[in-house]
Amino acid sequence: MTELKLETLIEGTGDREVQSGDQISVHYTGTLVDGTKFDSSVDRGQSFTFTIGLNQVIQGWEQGLLGMKLNEMRKLIIPAELAYGERGSGSVIPSNAVLIFEVELVSFAE
């Protein structure tokens, strides 16, 4: 798999769409292809805030969250090249792993 795949699970609301430079807060759950959960802001009960376009997150998120609207939920299937590649991430994400995220846009930070 070499390309990012997106699926809208819940349609968003309003006219504003995520663009580069926006600071946003999301809830997410990340799993491996075999269903192993490796991270979840939902489980922690705390959203994750970052700015699109500053390489604060993996490229699959940088590309896959553009155009989202408030309260939208997307499923992102991210190839290793747009995630952690050959290096993986610690003992949690193996080398060359395809990652699956369900991401909900909970707010635009002003």
The pLDDT tens digits of the residues spanning 65-95 come to 999 999 999 999 999 999 999 999 988 999 9
Asked if 60 contacts 78 with a C-beta cutoff of 8 angstroms, the reply is: yes
Which domains does the chain show, CATH number per domain?
5-109 (3.10.50.40)
Annotated active-site positions, please? 28, 38-39, 58, 84, 101
Q: What is the CA radius of gyration of the chain?
A: 13
Q: What is the per-residue pLDDT for 2?
A: 76
